[in-house]
Amino acid sequence: MHKVTFAVLGILVIGIFSLVMVDGAFLPKKYLEPWSGTYHTQFEDPRVQVLAHGVLAPNSHNLQSWRVVLEGENSFLLYVDPGRLSPKADPPGRQVTISQGTFLEYVGVAAGNLGYEAEMQLFPEGEYGPEGTATNLGSKPVARVILKETTRETEPESSILYKSMFVPDAYRVPYREMQLSKEDIETLEALSTENVTILIFQDPESLESLGNIVLRAAEVETGNDGIQKEGFELFRPNEWKKNEYRYGFSLDGQGLPAFNIHLMQGLISLFPFLNSPEVSGQSFLSQTESAVENTPAYALIITKGNSRTAQVEAGILYSRFLLAATDMGYAMQPMSQALEEYPEMAEIYMEIHEAYTGENETIQMLIRVGVPEKEVSPTMRLDVMDITEVSKATENSYIRL
C-alpha cells in the first residue's frame, strides 16, 4: 500500500516539476517590470522617463503599437508601429489609432507629475489616410511632443491620475451589482470635450440593449475564422513566451490565482492541442456572457466625425476617463467588437450607431464599467526601449543608471 502511495506521489511530483519547467514559472517576469513605480528612474533622459509610463496605457489587443523617435534635446515623434497590427479585427486601423491617444494621455500625466509640461501637436505632417495598411499607418507621425520644464509650487492635478496608471487597465471579471453614483456619473461625463463625448448608461433598458449587442457581436467575432486565428497567434502560452514577446494575450488579467495560471500554462505548453482558435473563441464567448450578466453600467465614447484626429482624441479621453474612474474605485473593460469594421459585423455596427448616435457621429468605444468582485494581475508590457529609436544626434541623451 505504501509503495503505491509513494509511487503516486512520485508521479505527481514529476508531473508538477514538468509543468513548472515547461511553463517557466521560475523565470523573472521581465514583462511586468514597467508596472513598477521606480521603473522610469533607471533612465536619465526625461523623455524616456515619461515614455516609460506611456507603455502602461490601455491599447487595442495589447499590441502596444507605438514607435517613438527621439529628436533634438527635448522632443519626440510618436508613430504607429506597422509591425504590430490586427488587420482582421481592425481593418482600417481605427483601434490602433485610438491607442495612440491613450499613450499620449499617459505621457502627459507622467510629464506633469515629473515636473514637465508635455506640449502636443497632433499629426504635425498631416493625417495619414483611411487605409489600414501597414504602409499607410506608419507613414506619418501621430504627434510631436515637446517637454518643457515647469516651476511647481503645488502638487499638480495630474498626481491623482498618476497613481491610477499603475493599476491594471482592464478587469475581465464579474462586477458587483452596485451602480455608479449620480455624482460620479456627472463627474466622469464632464470629462467630455468639444469633439468627444462620454455617455454612461445604467438603466435596465440600456443594459439589456447594449448587453444584447455585446453578446451578438461576440458571436459574430467567434464565428470569424480569420479573427480567431489572428487572436490565437497573439496568445502567449507560458512565461517563456511572455518574456520573449511582452505583448499580445495571456491568461493574466482574468482574476485567476497565480497557481492556476501556471498550471494551465504548463498544461497548454505540454499539450498544445488543449488550445486552438476554436477553443479560445469559445472561451471568449463564455467570458463575454459572464461579463454581460455581471455589468452594472456601460459607457460609450462618441466623436464628431471619424477623422484620424478624432480617433486619437477619443483615445486621449478614454485614458482620462479610465484613470479618473480608477481613482473612484471603478474598473473597466472595453467591449468594442460591435464597432469593428469588417463585413460580418456591418449589421450590428449600423444598429448600435442608429440607436446611440446623431448625424455625423461615430462610436469609438463601448466599455463596461463597475466595481470588480476581485483584483486582477497586470498584463505584459514592452520595455520602453523596445519602442524607442535613438538617432546619432541624441544617442547620448538617455542612459540606464
Alpha-carbon span 279 to 232, nearest angstrom: 10
Under 8 Å between Cβ of 236 and 29:
no
Under 8 Å between Cβ of 298 and 206:
yes
DSSP characters for 38-105?
Answer: TGGGGB-SHHHHHHHHHTTS--GGG---EEEEEETTTEEEEEE-TTS--TTT-TTSHHHHHHHHHHHH
Element (H, E) at 9: helix 2-23
Q: Which fold has domain 36-166+382-394?
A: NADH Oxidase (3.40.109)
Alpha-carbon span 3 to 297, nearest angstrom: 58
Taking only the tens of pLDDT, the chain with its 401 residues reads 555 565 545 555 555 656 767 888 889 999 999 999 999 999 999 999 999 999 999 999 999 999 999 998 899 999 999 999 999 999 999 999 999 999 999 999 999 999 999 999 999 999 999 999 999 999 999 999 999 998 766 666 667 899 999 999 999 999 999 999 999 999 999 999 999 999 999 999 999 999 999 999 999 999 999 999 999 999 999 999 999 999 999 998 888 888 888 888 888 888 888 888 888 888 899 999 999 999 999 999 999 999 999 999 999 999 999 999 999 999 999 999 999 999 999 999 999 999 999 999 999 999 999 999 999 999 999 999 999 997 655 555 444 44
Cell of 324: 479618473
Q: Residue 236 in 3-state DSSP?
A: coil
Alpha-carbon span 210 to 36, nearest angstrom: 36
Domain boundaries, the chain: 36-166+382-394, 182-370
pTM (2 d.p.): 0.93
Q: Which CATH number fits domain 182-370: 3.40.50.150, 3.30.530.20, 3.40.109.10, 3.40.50.620?
A: 3.40.109.10
- List Cβ neighbours of 314 (8 Å cut-off, separation of 6 or more): 98, 101, 196, 301, 303, 364, 365
- Note whether 36-166+382-394 and 182-370 share their fold: yes
**pLDDT of the residue at 399:** 47
Under 8 Å between Cβ of 297 and 201:
yes
